[in-house]
Structure 1
């Protein structure tokens, strides 16, 4: 384990599972690819700070008929100081053909109980929760969804941190897909990420 200052360039890529983030960490001991789930909270950009690395290992994947070998670092945590816009040079180092880390994970994410998968699917369907359907918009013979239903879906999505406070810190060790859904939902509910404190705060605007 090593704590080292560096600069983390994060790029957002659109894949078959939706948008995801990958990063490249530049330090005095070398450059490393970062694909930890905690990156999915952040906006695209170039962040400076201190990074706690627990593992450095080689990894590889194939794309367009070629084998890509990279050195990955696993982050335990990071303390960020500031952020700049991602430059074209930074973006070029992070290929848009990078595989989604979800696809690289063990098939355990696909063997979850059916009920849990249904719960996550239902939670993903609340993207328009702040604009409930009117009676005219609801399917024939069905009542529009109630705020109680939205609350139930949010409770299932956020688990032990529900109900939400004005300041929310996500558990980045949860299932990666769930973490992405939580980030999306927080944005819909008016929360913004304070990247220095690494917490979501409810915006007053």
Structure 2
């Protein structure tokens, strides 16, 4: 039988204790989430779509690693190499806030996983003109379009991409957005295997509708239904 072309992986998933550190970064497509998983067998980058649902922080728990693979991709001015873990599940026990240094460690050289899936390359920095014919007007301050640059100040939540869910403000739009999940019940479990852009739109819309994620059950519940820890 011919060998598969998929990344090299272990014969069976393994379960390891560890800590998953998540950082939410503001990019050209809106907020995106990247993670680092520290375990007794090593430290890995994690960029599974499942993580899009979770607020940034440090999560302790047990993690089911489906496979581990090497990944390289272009970044501004060169390339980056990292070892990634693909998760097949996790049981989370608690969450702590990121320190300023931990947050800053994710602030640069991170590519939106959506751009990777779409095959979008980071934009090259344009060369400066030799001489301007007249003084250039200062550019207005706005969010950077470069997916490698996080323009969200530390400690300030990035705005949700609610516009991505349009016309999600109407029931007709919600039906189209959530599909078989509609009508939504008191609790909702999203399917992270769908298109990542659609998943982000569902997450943003659930927030607009008054739902919050319970990271222990990995389900979204109406906030009125959530009980204090």
Other-structure match for 1:83: 95
2:165 to 124, 128, 138: 124
| Pairing partner for 1:185 from 200, 205, 209 | 205
Aligned with 1:159 (options 162, 176, 179) = 179
Q: Please state whether the residue corresponding to 2:115 is helix, strand or coil.
A: helix
The count of residues paired between Structure 1 and Structure 2 equals 171
What stretches of structure 1 of length at least 5 have no aligned partner? 108-120, 130-149
Which of 74, 82, 85 does residue 73 from structure 1 map onto? 85
For 2:29 and 2:110, the matched residues in 1 are separated by 13
Unaligned 5+ residue runs, structure 2?
1-12, 120-161
**C-alpha offsets along residues 154-178 of structure 1, whole Å, 9 cap, x if unaligned?**
0110111110000100011111011
The list of structure 1 runs, each at least 4 consecutive aligned residues, that deviate by more than 3 angstroms after superposition, is none
Which residue of the partner structure matches residue 189 of structure 2?
Answer: 169
Distance 2:104 2:224 in 1: 37
Aligned equivalent of 2:30, options 15, 18, 34: 18
Q: For the structure 1 residues 54 and 97, does the alpha-carbon distance in structure 2 shift closer, same or farther, using more than 3 Å as the test?
A: same
TM-score (ref. length: structure 2): 0.70
What secondary structure is seen at the aligned counterpart in 1 of 2:38?
Answer: strand
